[in-house]
Amino acid sequence: MFDEGRLNEIVKERKRWEKTTVPRWVRRHPERKGEFSTSSGRLIKRLYTPEDVKGLDYLRDLGFPGKFPFTRGLHATMYRGRLWTMRQFAGFGTAEQTNARFKYLLKEGETGLSIAFDYPTIMGCDSDHPMAKGEVGQCGVAVSSLRDMEILFDGIPLDRVTTSMTINGPAAMLLAMYVAIGDKQRVPRERLGGTTQNDMLKEFFAQKLCIFPPKPSLKLVTDIIEYCARHLPKWNPISISGYHIREAGSNAVQELAFTLADGIAYVESTLKRGLKVDDFAPRLSFFFASHNNFFEEAAKFRAARRLWAKIMKERFRARSPRSLWMRMHVQTSGCTLTAQQPVNNIVRVALQSLAAVLGGTQSLHTNSFDEALALPSEKAVRVALRTQQIIAHESGVADTVDPLAGSYYVEALTNEMEERVTEYIDKIDAMGGVIPAIEKGFFQREIADSAYKYQREIDQKERVLVGVNEYTVEEDWVPVELLRVHPKVEEEQLARLQRVKRERSNGRVRKVLDELHDAAKRDENLMPTIIEAVKAYATLGEICDVLRGVFGEYRELIVI
Amino acid sequence: MSSERKIRVAVAKPGLNSHDRGAKIVARALRDAGMEVIYTGLRQTPEQIVETALQEDVDVIALSILSGAHMTLFPRIMELLKQKGLADVLVFAGGIIPTEDVPALKKIGIAEVFGPGTPTDTLVEFVKENVRKRE
C-alpha cells in the first residue's frame, strides 16, 4: 500500500530507531518482559509499521464488507443496519424454571434464545437413568420428552424468536421436538429459525459428549443438514465450533484451524450425500470463543471469514455468494473467568465482548461474573446483557464498519493467523482429514500440550492472572446469591416422566421405535421418523437407546 | 540402596461431566513430579472408580467434578472405598465445588477440596505430605 521507495525509507528509519531511540530508553526503563507473545506463542513486536503489511493488497485481502473475501464483515452496513444478536445461553432445573429465565432475559433485552441442557439430556439419557442421579437440572434444563419442551416454550411464539440449542449427540431428537412445538403452535416449518450445534467432530477431541461412535455420529449430523436443506430453510443445522476446542486448552490458531478442518469435513460429508454445495452451505454457521488477548482475538475473527470464504470458493467451488459467508456466534471465554474476586470478571467479559464486536460477530453471548462459581444468577446475567448493550449503544464502536482495519498490528496478525491456520489445515489434509487425525490423537495431543503450557506459565508467574497468582485478597466479595439447583428438581422430573409414560399410547411408541430401528438399519435419513417418535412422546432415552442398539456406543481414546 | 515405590494416583472423573482439561493437567503434573498416574477417563460410576483404585493399588484418588453432582457421587465413592478396605487411600477433589459443601465433604473423608486457580505445585506437595506411608 506504500510505494517501494517510501517503504525503504520507512525501513531505514525503523532500523535507525531500533539502534538509537530504543536502546537509549530501554537502558533506563527495561521492558517488563524478555519477550511478549500471543496465546499461540507468536512473538509480539514492539512496534508494527507499514513494513509489516507490505504485501497487503487492499482490494484483494480486505475489500469491502459484504463482498469477497469478507475480511471487513459479512454485510455492507454491519451493525449500522442491525446489531449482533444478543443471545444468552441459559438453562437450569426444570422446564418451568428455564422458561422463566428465558422470559426474564427477553424482557431485559436479549434478542435470541439459547438453551443449555443438563448432562443426562446431553448424553441422551432420561432423568430417571441410573447415571442421571444427582445430575438432573444441575448444568442445564432437563428435557426427557416433548412434554418438557412444551413447558420450556410455553408463552414463547416460535415465529417471533430464534433459538439456538447447544446439543450434539441427541441434536436430531431436540430439533424434532422443536419442530413438533412449531407444528403445535401452527408456525409453518419454513418459518422456524434457530440453530442446533450438532457438531460431533469436536466432541471427539474437545467437549467429549459423545454417545455414538464417529461414523454414525457423522451420519446423524449429515441427516440434520440434509433435512434442513430440504425442509427447514431458516434453520442453521450446525454450529461448527471452536469454542470448546479453545476451552479445552488450545490456542487461538489451533481453535480456528481445527474448526475450519471440521467444517471442511462436514461439507465433504454432505456432498457425499448428493447435495450440491450451494444447497446447504449458506446455512452452515460457526461458533468461537473470545479469549483474553484482545487484538489476537479480533484478528482471529477477521481471518476466519477470509479463510472460509476462500475455502468455499476455491476448494468447494461454491457459486452462491451466501455459500461463502462465515456467520458466527461468539461466547466470551469461560475458562478465563476466575473464582477469586469474581466481580473482576465483568471487566474480562467486557474486553472479550469488545474484541468480538470489533471482529464482526453476528451473535454474542456474554458470560456472567459468577460463572466460575455457579450457573448465572439473575443479577449477574443482567450485567452480562448490559455489557453488550453498553458496547452497542454507548461506545460508538458499532457506528462504523470494521474500525480496526488498516491497523498495522491487526492486519499483520490477521495475515499471520491465516498463514498458520493454513499450515495446520494442510497438515490435517495430509493425515487424510479430521477423522484419521482424531484416531491418531492429533487434536487431543495439540490441545493437551497447549493447556499444560498455559498452566505452567501461570504456575511460574510468566502469565499473570489478576486475583489468582497476583493481586490476591484474603477476603473475597461476591455481591450476589449464587444460583443453586434444588435437589427436588430431580423428584419433579421423575414424577413428570412417569406421568408422560402413563398418559401416552405405549403401543404407538413401540411401533414408532420399531420403525426407527428399521430406518436406522436401512441407513435412511432419520429425521422424519424421529419427529414421529417425539410426537408420540417417546422419551429421549428410549429413542437414543434404539440408536445405541444399532450404532453402538463410543469409547474414548485417552490422550493426556 | 532400595528403590522407593512411586506414589500411585488415580485421577478420576465421576458422573456425566466431561470437562477434563483440569484433570489431565493434574495427571500430567503429578506424573512429571515422579508419581505413577492412572487417568480413568470420563463418565465413571463410583463403582468403576473404586474398582480401578483396587485393581491399580493406588495410594491416592483425585476426583474432578464440575457438574454439581458431587454431593450424590462422593458419599457413594467414600462408602465403597470403606467397604473394599481402601479407607486409608488419600482422596482429594477439585473442579467446581461450592465452598459451602466443603465441610460436609471433609466429614465423609475427602481430605481437601482444591478450587480453580490452585497451582499444580500445591497439589504435588499436598500429595507428598499426606499420602499414607507404605512399607
**Could you state, in order of their start, the residue ranges of all structural domains in chain B?**
8-129
Q: Are A260 and A308 in contact (CB under 8 A)?
A: yes
Minimal C-alpha gap between B135 and chain A (Å): 30
Select from 3.30.565.10, 1.10.260.40, 1.10.287.610, 3.40.50.280 the CATH code of B8-129: 3.40.50.280
Task: Give CA–CA dist A377/A478, Å, rounded.
Answer: 12
Report helix, strand or coil for A89.
Answer: strand
C-beta atoms surrounding A503 within 10 Å: 10
User: pLDDT digit string (tens) for A319-369?
Assistant: 999 999 999 999 999 999 999 999 999 999 999 999 999 999 999 999 999
Q: What is the pLDDT of residue B3?
A: 60
Instruction: Quote the Cα angle for A455-B65-A446, to 5°.
Output: 40
* Residues in chain A closer than 8 A to B119 (CB atoms): 458-459, 469
Interface contact A558, partner B, CB < 8 A: yes
A470 touches chain B (CB under 8 A): no
Region A193-222: mean pLDDT is 96
Interface of A with B in 308-347 (CB under 8 A): 335, 338-340
Confidence at A499, pLDDT banded by 50, 70, 90: very high
**Section A136-160 average pLDDT:** 98
The tens place of each residue's pLDDT in chain B, 135 residues long, gives 446 789 999 999 999 999 999 999 999 999 999 999 999 999 999 999 999 999 999 999 999 999 999 999 999 999 999 999 999 999 999 999 999 999 999 999 999 999 999 999 999 999 999 998 765
Place of cell 460508538: A396
Alpha-carbon distance A182 to A161, whole Å? 11
Of A134, A335, A556, the CB nearest to B41: A556
Q: What would the grid cell of residue A502 be?
A: 402413563
pLDDT 10s digits, A6-16: 999 999 999 99
Q: Give the pLDDT score at A560.
A: 78
B62 to chain A: which residues are within 8 Å by CB? none
Assess contact for A325 and A70: CB atoms under 8 A. Answer: yes
DSSP string covering B73-114, please? HHHHHHHHHHHTT-TTSEEEEEES--GGGHHHHHHTT--EEE
pLDDT of residue A490: 97
H or E stretch covering A540: helix A540-551
Nearest partner of A173 among A133, A212, A229, A204, judged by Cα: A212
- Residue A90 confidence class, pLDDT cut points 50, 70, 90: very high
The sign of the torsion formed by the CA atoms of A508, A509, A512, A514 equals negative
Q: Do residues A157 and A133 make contact, with C-beta atoms less than 8 angstroms apart?
A: no
Count Cβ atoms below 10 Å from residue A484 Cβ, excluding itself: 15
pLDDT of residue B135: 54
Kindly list the structural domains of chain A, giving each domain's residue range(s) and its CATH number in brackets, ordered by start.
Answer: 59-459 (3.20.20.240)
Distance CA B53, CA A292 (A): 39
What DSSP string runs through A181-247? Answer: HHHHTT--GGG--EEE---HHHIIIII---SS-HHHHHHHHHHHHHHHHHH-TTEE-EEEESHHHHH
| pLDDT the model gives residue B1 | 44
For residue A275, is pLDDT > 80?
yes
Of A133, A249, A448, the CB nearest to B72: A133
Give the model confidence (pLDDT) of A289-323 as tens digits: 999 999 999 999 999 999 999 999 999 999 999 99
Give the model's confidence band at A199: pLDDT under 50 very low, under 70 low, under 90 confident, else very high. very high
For A482, the closest chain B residue by CA position comes to B98
Closest Cα in chain B to A464: B117
The C-alpha cell that represents A450 in the structure block: 497447549
A417-434: burial string, b at 16+ Cβ within 10 Å, e else: bbebbbebbeebeeeeeb
Unique residue bearing C-alpha cell 491497523 = A407
Query: Does residue A104 have a pLDDT over 80?
Result: yes
Angle separating helix axes A294-310 and A408-430, nearest 10 degrees: 50
Q: Contact, B30 vs B9, CB < 8 A?
A: yes
CA A314 to chain centre: 25
Average of pLDDT values for A393-397? 98
The band of A2, judged by pLDDT with boundaries at 50, 70 and 90, is confident
**DSSP string of A437-497, one letter each residue:** HHHHTHHHHHHHHHHHHHHHHHHTTSS--BTTTBS--SS----SPPP---THHHHHHHHHH
- Cβ–Cβ < 8 Å for A303, A254: no
Q: How far is CA A94 from the centre of its chain?
A: 24
What is the pLDDT, as a whole number, of residue B134? Answer: 66
C-alpha cell at A92: 437450569
Helix H or strand E encompassing A328: strand A327-332
A260-273 pLDDT, tens digit each: 999 999 999 999 99
Has residue A62 got a pLDDT over 60? yes
> All 3 cell numbers of residue A263?
467444517
Q: Which of A84, A81, A59, A83 is nearest to A72 (CA)?
A: A59
Contacting residues of B for A556, CB less than 8 Å apart: 41-42
Cell of A535: 410426537
pLDDT band at A508 (very low <50, low <70, confident <90, very high): very high
CB B38 within 8 A of CB B10: yes
Do residues A262 and A199 lie in contact, with contact meaning Cβ atoms separated by under 8 Å?
yes
Can you tell me the ipTM of this complex?
A: 0.94
